[in-house]
Structure 1
Amino acid sequence: MTIQKVLYLGYVWPEPNSSAAGSRTMEFLRLFRQQNWQVVFASVAALSPHRADLSALQIEEKQLTLNCDSFDEFILSYQPDLVVFDRFFTEEQFGWRVERHCPQALRVLDTCDLHSLREARHRLLKQALHTSTGTVPALLVPATEHATLYRSMCEEDVAQREIAAIYRCDLSLMISQFEVDLLRDLFQVPDYLLCENNLMLVPENSAQQNSPGFDERQHFVSIGNFRHAPNWDAVLCLYQIIWPRIRARLPHAQLHVFGSYPPPKAMALHQPAQGFHVRGWAEDAHAVMQASRVCLAPLRFGAGIKGKLADAMACGTPSVTTSIGAESMCGELPWAGVIADELDAFVDAAVMLSNDLDQWQLAQQRGREILQTHFNRSVSSTLFLQAILQARAQQQERRAQNFTGAMLRHHSLKSTQYMSQWIQLKNQAAKPS
């Protein structure tokens, strides 16, 4: 069974300059085209002015309508060999239609990160903040023990929905080894359904070697899509508790906060007199990172691996982050900067890296080692393609093994199908005659 046609069902149109998820999507699409596979990228999302130029890769764009039979006509005509679902809710929306009209297609889910894990950690953070009312929070990074996270995840239906989608697909792409271990060890997901691969658009190592030196850089930087809840929480954490302490020790320090889609509440934090600058959209995030001396990423919850921190290493910019920020990114290697889960330690690290040339250069070297060991694009690309082709070759055998997935497709997709058809009929009835 070969692959010649690919259908990529995107939750949004890929924006590599807006998010790590957009960069990851573009890496996959480029890799598919390098195999001379025909690719169609389809989405129900509105066309974005910041989206990548897919036509440059000879990729056709298809605008979809949710809960509409027009998708059935399209997929019957196209007949893809591989369908990639961008996040589990896209699989919920279109999985039943793919199975009905194109059952032979290999179904691959790109989780981007484990949404149910991120939400569980957010919930744990809120609980911790609630119990610390009246005191200054010391970052309060939620627990990372598998057992604690498992219990929290099981409290909400997001985990049931997300893991059901994983079972219904032939292969799920996981960006974090931590998440693979959690799914395998606690949720008992079979190994053959999971593929850990951290492929994303990270600049080549030469970018760090040619980047400005310590004396040519200045200021702190923070960057991240404002629509992503962990990023917004990190900005608030910087503004409310971290930056005032850094500024007290470095009176002339400046922090520049970049990110796509800044809401008015974010721009309202812009306080130049305090050295806190909310810049919003960055035309070239790598140029911004290279011009900065230290990257600050006080991530108190989240999942997956953090594109901003991989970019920082590639641009030769040491970072201060939390254990959640650095999760699954460096293995046993020392971090390219400092990992700090306590407020005082975080502030101390930021001040130290901004002033100490030797420690700054050591962090930069550690970043190079992490990229070479854990983010080798050639190795990641090869392993990814091998996993896809192996899943295709073993498709029938794996589906026969995966009774849980077959059962979930029978029951869950029927309910999804009927709900979609009910919405479609309701929308048709609401149209003026």
Structure 2
Amino acid sequence: MSGPDTDPKSLLVIGHQWPEPEATAAGVRMLWLLKGFLQKDFQVVFACAAGPGDYRVDLGKLGITEVGIQMNDSSFDRFLQKHEFSHVLFDRFLTEEQFGWRVRDNLPGAQILLDTEDLHSLRRSREDAMRKGGEWSVSGWVEHPLFYREIASMFRSDLNLIISKHEMELLQAQIPHLQEKLVYLPFGMDAPVNVPGISFQNRSNFVFLGNGKHLPNLDAIAQLKSEIWPLIRKRLPEAVLQIYGAYLPNQILQMDAPAEGFQVKGWAPELQPVLNNTRLLLAPLRFGAGIKGKILKAAAFGLPVMGTSVGFEGIMEKHEALSFVADSAQHFAEKAVELYTDPVGWERALKLQEQAAGVHLYTSFETLSRAMDSYPERREALPQETRLIQNLLQNEAFGRLRYLSRWIEAKEKGKN
């Protein structure tokens, strides 16, 4: 699988963004993965074409080499030819689309991993259905234009890391030929150490967490402001809702209304004091996919969440029977008030959520390590139809993307 000069444990990670674990759930997931590879004695290089974010973590302190790369530029080929990586991890299918053909051209023996983060096509198809006022359906998902791009990327990759059991089941049901390429790897998060258990009586008020670059979060904040919070505030006139998140846009910052108990705080470098003292986290997410980091973080700090079926998907089953799940604004507000004022129901909800979140808070990197080690056997077990689809998509897509990328590069250089 590797050339004679290839380090058998050298990893190139091509990031969609530089990791920002203090600002985004995706950053938390990526940092957890990177630490797992380091513990397995991989030499790790993290490459990214995006500009540095405001909350970028210093990977160099972990012993990871950071490299800025360019899209549609042959300098990336020369970079690959120098290093001979044994493994390449793509952060979301968008990076595989952009750089995958170059990786295959220059590192034909490398094992290709794709961390889907969440199924982008699932999230987008749900958003489109909501915007149109209709119900989401599986047929709407598989007919969405993004579906074909995402699934094609997964076929081209050797192993695909799936963060949600619900998404794993969807893929297995709809695309059974992907079975041998799928690895269920829960969220992965370093649980807080020695978090004090603060009682119901010593907590007060509400909180929302979510970065402003993620559309489901912006929609949820707008729903809180216009529909949900007025209903809660009517029942609890002294209560306060605080909105925390990095990169909140102006339209969200302008929603700040202290007189209404609606406080937009923005990014906070340390959320532990907030989460330790708040009584309930509100997460009225109407669309999305993957696993919601805000729900896991709240559970880790002993803070229950009032959420939606989409929000708890992949974490809790039988949503309709849960006291802390509601999908309409009216029911959401009613259940939130009940949880906020009922210590017995609050404790029951917290215990259920803590138990369910444990799968993600305490997941093991060994799951991925074993899948990587057994990849040669998995590859041999691929059905003939899967091999055919993989080769077809690699040849068609790589030929098209190769031509397009080189055309863009030539065009850009011609301007200079």
With normalisation by structure 2, the TM-score equals 0.94
Secondary structure of 1:262's counterpart equals coil
Aligned to 1:59: 64
Q: Deviation digits for residues 13-48 of structure 1, max 9, x if unmatched?
A: 000011111100001000000011100000001122
Partner Cα separation in structure 2 for residue 261 and residue 215 of structure 1: 33
Of stretches 178-187 and 245-254 in structure 1, the one that deviates more from structure 2 is 178-187
Aligned to 1:177: 165
Of stretches 286-295 and 276-285 in structure 1, the one that deviates more from structure 2 is 286-295
- Pick the aligned partner of 1:72 from 68, 77, 80: 77
Partner Cα separation in structure 2 for residue 332 and residue 244 of structure 1: 28
Aligned to 1:389: 373
Contact 1:335 1:367 (C-alpha < 8 Å) held by counterparts: no
Q: CA deviation at 1:331?
A: 4.2
- Alpha-carbon spacing, 1:205–1:332, altered in 2? closer, same or farther (3 Å): farther
Letter in 2 for 1:212: I
Secondary structure of 2:187's counterpart equals coil
Aligned to 1:293: 279
Letter in 1 for 2:370: Q
Contact 1:312 1:319 (C-alpha < 8 Å) held by counterparts: yes
**2:149 matches 1:200:** no
Counterparts of residues 5-404 of structure 1 (less than 5 Å): 5-128=10-133, 142-143=135-136, 148-149=137-138, 151-204=139-192, 206-207=194-195, 210-331=196-317, 338-372=324-358, 374-375=359-360, 377=362, 379-391=363-375, 394-395=378-379, 398=382, 402-404=387-389
Aligned to 1:408: 393
Secondary structure of 1:413's counterpart equals helix
Contact 1:199 1:380 (C-alpha < 8 Å) held by counterparts: no
Partner Cα separation in structure 2 for residue 406 and residue 382 of structure 1: 29
Partner Cα separation in structure 2 for residue 334 and residue 10 of structure 1: 37
Secondary structure of 1:279's counterpart equals strand
Secondary structure of 1:215's counterpart equals helix
Q: What runs of 5+ residues in structure 2 fail to find an aligned partner? A: 3-7
Letter in 2 for 1:302: G
Of stretches 155-164 and 254-263 in structure 1, the one that deviates more from structure 2 is 155-164
Partner Cα separation in structure 1 for residue 352 and residue 193 of structure 2: 12
Secondary structure of 2:102's counterpart equals helix
- Pick the aligned partner of 2:407 from 422, 430, 433: 422
Contact 2:32 2:190 (C-alpha < 8 Å) held by counterparts: no
Q: CA deviation at 1:123?
A: 0.8
Contact 2:159 2:182 (C-alpha < 8 Å) held by counterparts: yes
Contact 1:183 1:189 (C-alpha < 8 Å) held by counterparts: no
Q: CA deviation at 1:49?
A: 3.2
Contact 1:176 1:198 (C-alpha < 8 Å) held by counterparts: yes
Q: What runs of 5+ residues in structure 1 fail to find an aligned partner? A: 130-141
Q: Deviation digits for residues 210-248 of structure 1, max 9, x if unmatched?
A: 232222222100011111010100000100100000001
Partner Cα separation in structure 1 for residue 94 and residue 67 of structure 2: 18
- Alpha-carbon spacing, 1:276–1:107, altered in 2? closer, same or farther (3 Å): same
Contact 2:177 2:383 (C-alpha < 8 Å) held by counterparts: no
Of stretches 279-288 and 396-405 in structure 1, the one that deviates more from structure 2 is 396-405
Q: CA deviation at 1:315?
A: 0.8
Letter in 1 for 2:34: L
With normalisation by structure 1, the TM-score equals 0.90
Contact 1:224 1:258 (C-alpha < 8 Å) held by counterparts: yes
Letter in 1 for 2:387: N
Superposition RMSD in Å: 2.0
